[in-house]
Structure 1
Amino acid sequence: MKSLATRPTAPLGEYEKSITQYQMAISFFQVGKGKNHVDTLTTKLELTSAVLAAGNSAEAVELSEQTYDTVKSEYGPEHLLTLSATNAFCKSLESVGRHHEAKVLLETVYHHLYDTWGERHPTTMSASSNLASIYRRTGRIHEAVQLNQQALVLAEEVHGTGHPSTLSYLHNLAASYSVAGRSNEAVELYARAIEPGRLRHTG
């Protein structure tokens, strides 16, 4: 899962192509494995991410809420897929300004992920970065910076410095530094986030 309020980082046509592919895959899994199979529901979460990345926030909220409700009902609140679905739902909620709802849900899921899977699990890191994004947007900048710093350090250790997820976390930390008035540090991080012809922008 990516961080909250994802903005498009590729031409819109690429997202539309991905959305179509995910929709086809969902149809295939529904027929072959059932509408509530893990593969079907996981692909629905991937579809939600693509829809959100394409800028269709309201549709992403609807899709992610439906998937979250289904996953929670089918697999229970402790299942990793449920935690991933919660993370995706919070991301969609935050993208339409429903910060408080997203914060309450995401604080719960983050602490559970941390306790169950550890801080180095990709879903835990994603939830941490997403929670930091909410804190940044609601004035809790010190907590946002701490979580962003933690996510970046772990991503560099787990994925390496050039991985897309690492660059995403780097950009998010730069955004928090900027809000915190740490402009020089923010500029340095933004510069590191730039690859030839492309900015991994997700904060």
Structure 2
Amino acid sequence: MDFSAQGEAFAGHAIAAVDKDLEALSEALDGAAAADLGSLRRRLNEQLDRLRDTHDPDGFRSITEEARHLRQDMSRLRHRSDLRTSVLRSELSRVERAYQHTQGFMTEGAQGRFDQQRATAEDALDRHDIDLAERAIDGMDTLNWAILLSDPTFLAAQFEHLAEQRSASTDPSAFDKLILQGRSAVSQANPEELRRVNGELFDLIAAPAGGGDDVAALAGLRR
């Protein structure tokens, strides 16, 4: 990463991604861990203030590093034992929202597996069986993604979403080459090539803004 050339954009993207994730975590916890969330919010606001006043590469590098620390602390909070059930209920809701877009494209067998996994997740959460709930939600997520990643319309929408995130790329030159390859894949209606390009773009983007985790939002673009 060349912070002298694109440090401001990269740091800005990192902070914006943390802000979005912190909002989602706050919503998931629904009033719990208020002190912890307040501390995270204050730290984030401090970095937002620094970003407005910073004009040198070292400053942008420092802000980006603090964004990484904030993500780590949010992950620890997300996995804290007394909060994990609330977080997983939010994850279950997210996966169910995505299912509203994918259900009509699934086979009856896949729909049956999704419903079975949903029942397993709900029961596991009621019993606070975290490991089983996580596996069931992951299984539901996998079924959603199997539909989305086989759909050329979704892949094209995902590509356009990723193409807007050049400022977060760790290698802009490689990013630009992939964008050209992606444009070619779209014009040639080549979903296999576009799937590859999207995967490599994800690898180049630090904390993609929504493209990886928020399946429901992108699924809405498939129709």
Question: Could you tell me the TM-score, scaled by structure 1's length?
Answer: 0.28
Which of the two has greater helix per residue?
A: 2
Question: Could you tell me the TM-score, scaled by structure 2's length?
Answer: 0.27
